[in-house]
Homo-oligomer: A and B are copies of this chain.
Amino acid sequence: MGKGITYPLGFYASGINCGIKENNKEDLSLIYSVSSSIASGTFTTNQFKSYSVLWSIKNIKNEIRAILINSGNANACNGKKNWDLTKKLIEELSIKLKTDKNSILFASTGIIGVDLPYEKIRSGFDRLIENLSPENNLLAVKGIMTTDTFPKEYEINTGIKGIKKEVFIGGMAKGSGMINPNMATMLCFITTDAVIDKKALDIALKEAVEESFNMITVDNDTSTNDTVICLANGLARNKTIHIGTPEFEIFSNSLKILCRELAKKIAFDGEGASKFIEVVVNGGWCKKDVKRVAKKVAGSYLVKTAIAGGDPNWGRIVAVVGSTNAKIDKKRMELKICGIKVFEGEPLNYNKENLINLMKDKEIKIEIDLKRGNFYATSWGCDLTEEYVKINKEYS
């Protein structure tokens, strides 16, 4: 078992059931840093933002000590009085944590339009704080899950020297129904003991999110609650990381790997998914083209259902590529499925039986070469099964 968000020095975690979810499942989590952290975050662009998101946006610039997260209730579209409840709740927690209320961030996921379960959450605070430990990362990640079937954690050694050990980064995330977050919430919390300036952390996080979580989404749909937060508490006591230094490149690269691995876990765990899909697009005229094509193929419902059925219906993939306005050399465009080339401007003769066998794998790779340039991008998704529909019919 990994250590996730408690891998870097000085981070504690906790997760309990406060009564929002049934069956005593964890529904309330806390991430706590023993010393002040700088924080960086990216938040949903939805016009109806959760009050939890609004609270975090307001306070992300401050020195941060803790992040409170509840699952089972989105704290969104539930009326103005829940903004007051949000403020009151965080204030109560800050008293118990003996810290400033503006040093606590808040994230929520769950049903929209229902009052924040203020009493339940509040009455869980004592147990939540008691429970804080560097060992309780798994309880914390369980507390943020909704329809996820497994907890998603990752940790990485950067190789950057600190005063005693290397600089570490850890993270945990929750998934986003069918990897088409047409309103399903994606949450990710990252911790590091790096000493890094705020601007460097902002840029590193923005780039990492762009290449990872943003490559598992289709459209620009974002839920009312999407949140990625990174805390850096500086306890590794490394030389401060600034933009333009080799250490920044190393840190930034480690953060990208961590975000990509968490994003892949989310894709792997799409609601009802039976297969993981990786779409690699090469030969693009520009970055925008390759990203758009990769995401559109990974998000196509006809591609997703074909893959669920193990059906080498490659025509659907070519048609999705053609439906974008990306520059394509139509006479030379190549498509490979599971390593087998099936199209190169025209259909190719290939061993269909062999491909059907390869498509029984849990991991399906689609490779597209647009033959127009040197840009490339990768996107991740999952297949679409009857189970997805079942989960979402019965959600509320």
Contact = CB atoms under 8 A, between A and B. Distances in A.
A285 interface: no
Interface stretch (A20-28, A202-210, A215-223, A252-260): A215-223
A184 interface: yes
Interface string A109-129: 001111000000000000000
B46 A347 contact: no
Interface stretch (A84-92, A97-105, A314-322, A373-381): A314-322
Given A46-B323, A390-B386, A394-B309, A318 B222 contact: no
B79 A347 contact: yes
Nearest to A312: B396
A308 B391 CA distance: 11
Contacts of A220: 323
Interface in A288-338: 296, 300-302, 305-306, 308-309, 311-316, 318-325, 328, 330
A70 to B, nearest CB: 16
B78 A309 contact: no
A160 B118 CA distance: 66
B393 A313 contact: no
Give the contact-size bracket for chain A: 35 or more
A315 B47 contact: no
A183 interface: yes
A320 B393 contact: no
B395 A384 contact: no
A385 interface: yes
B343 A77 contact: yes
A321 B111 CA distance: 16
Interface in A340-396: 343, 346-347, 384-386, 388-390, 392-396
Number of copies: 2
Contacts of A308: 389, 393
A327 to B, nearest CB: 9
Contacts of A300: 182-183
A222 B394 CA distance: 31
A80 interface: yes
A48 interface: yes
Nearest to A296: B221
A76 interface: yes
A19 B66 CA distance: 68
B389 A319 contact: no
Contact of A389 (B180, B222, B305, B325): B305
B76 A306 contact: no
A1 to B, nearest CB: 33
A167 interface: no
B180 A301 contact: yes
Contacts of A305: 389, 392-393, 395
Given A343-B77, A392-B305, A396-B311, A48 B322 contact: yes
Contact of A386 (B319, B321, B389, B396): B389
A74 interface: yes
Contacts of A319: 46, 48, 76-77, 112, 183, 223-224
A301 B311 CA distance: 23
B111 A315 contact: yes
Interface of A: 45-49, 74, 76-80, 111-114, 177-178, 180, 182-184, 219-224, 296, 300-302, 305-306, 308-309, 311-316, 318-325, 328, 330, 343, 346-347, 384-386, 388-390, 392-396
6 contacts: A47-B328, A48-B322, A77-B322, A113-B343, A182-B302, A311-B395
